[in-house]
Amino acid sequence: MEKDMEQMFQERIDKEIRIEPKDWMPEKYRQTLIRQISQHAHSEIIGMLPEGNWITRAPNLRRKAILLAKVQDEAGHGLYLYSAAETLGISRDEMYEQLHSGKAKYSSIFNYPTLSWADMGAIGWLVDGAAIMNQVPLCRTSYGPYARAMVRVCKEESFHQRQGFEILLTLSRGTEAQRRMAQDAINRWWWPSIMMFGPKDDESPNTIQSMKWKIKRFTNDELRQKFVDICAEQIKILNLTIPDPDLKWNETTGHYDFGPINWDEFWQVIAGNGPCNKQRLDARKKAWEDGAWVREAASAHARKRAERLAQKRA
């Protein structure tokens, strides 16, 4: 009987019929989505930290206002996604707890430090660029609430990437020291950004099922290649270099070849041994714990107000 339902479910997916919260779905589909959407939400929330670091040190008011708006967007993206995950039957508090306990992962890129202002440029251009590459196909993902959240995210994300490129462009046309700063940021963020697409296809066990369920539309390696191809062209406008001696246009494949990725580093960072893993999680936990009295006070206030209102009516 279960098999029968799974078959019907797959037929709906194949016909590009979106799945909505109350529809029947295989338990594994539900679990896969909860994992993916909540990880995605956590990444938006943790992703505020490396940039938040530079709000008070932005070089001028224009940059500060932009960075504030960008970080606020990321909070919003986290909330859209948490709300989509909640339709699958997990509570917000459960997701927070999974993040705080280390059970749930978030994008490993946010475990790298932001050492200079140019990092704001490199994050916008490369990290948000890689995120967009991942996210655009998710606007057509098979689960309705996730797809709708991603449409909103993608609309906002393109400003993030453009403001990042503008920061690098300004630096690249500045003094020698500014050019060096921009190049240094690109050198540090390039490889971690390439790793954002996740493990190679043959080492990504969930990919086949996720593609079959149309949660994913492209494999990790396909998206990674697209990203490299685009960046290899865009860097020319900055007149800077991508830190990969093997990066070369390949006439036969019609793509850029690129050098080997340090997967050991990738797995180390995922395992919690990146430069900032502890710092990020501690900051997040502190914010949650420090906010506890506010949440309680707001609940108490709402309760009292409702009681007063009920008394007045009586």
Partner 1 sequence: MKQYINKYYYGDYGEGKNGAADISTSGKTQHEWPLWEVFIRSKQGLDHKHVGSLHAVDAQMAIENARDVYTRRMEGISIWVVESKHIHASNPDDADALYDPANDKAYRHPTFYDLPDELTHI
Which two structure tokens, joined as six digits, stand for 179? 């050019």
Shortest Å, Cβ 75 to partner 1: 8
Shortest Å, Cβ 266 to partner 1: 31
Q: At what angle do helices 27-46 and 92-101 cross, to 10 degrees?
A: 70
CB nearer to partner 1: pick between 43 and 98? 98
CB nearer to partner 1: pick between 8 and 208? 8
Question: What is the number of helices (H) and of strands (E) in the chain?
Answer: 14, 2
Query: Could you tell me the sign of the dihedral formed by the alpha carbons of 28, 29, 33, 34, in that order?
Result: negative
CB nearer to partner 1: pick between 13 and 240? 13
Q: How many residues does the chain have?
A: 314
Shortest Å, Cβ 83 to partner 1: 5
CB nearer to partner 1: pick between 27 and 202? 27
- Please classify residue 76 by burial: count the beta carbons closer than 10 Å to its beta carbon, then call 0-12 exposed, 13-18 middle and 19+ buried: middle
CA distance 75 to 80: 9
Q: Is 153 helix (H, G, I), strand (E, B) or coil?
A: helix
Residues that bind partner 1 (CB under 8 A): 1, 4-5, 8, 20-24, 69, 72-73, 76, 79-80, 83-84, 86-94, 97, 145, 148-149, 152, 155-156, 295-296, 298-299, 301-302, 305-306
> Do 134 and 224 contact (CB within 8 A), yes or no?
no
CA distance 119 to 93: 32
Shortest Å, Cβ 178 to partner 1: 31
Shortest Å, Cβ 298 to partner 1: 5
Shortest Å, Cβ 201 to partner 1: 33
Q: What is the DSSP string of 184-237?
A: HHHHHHHHHHHHTT-S-GGG-TTHHHHHHTTS-SS-HHHHHHHHHHHHHHHHHH
CB nearer to partner 1: pick between 69 and 115? 69
CB nearer to partner 1: pick between 72 and 250? 72
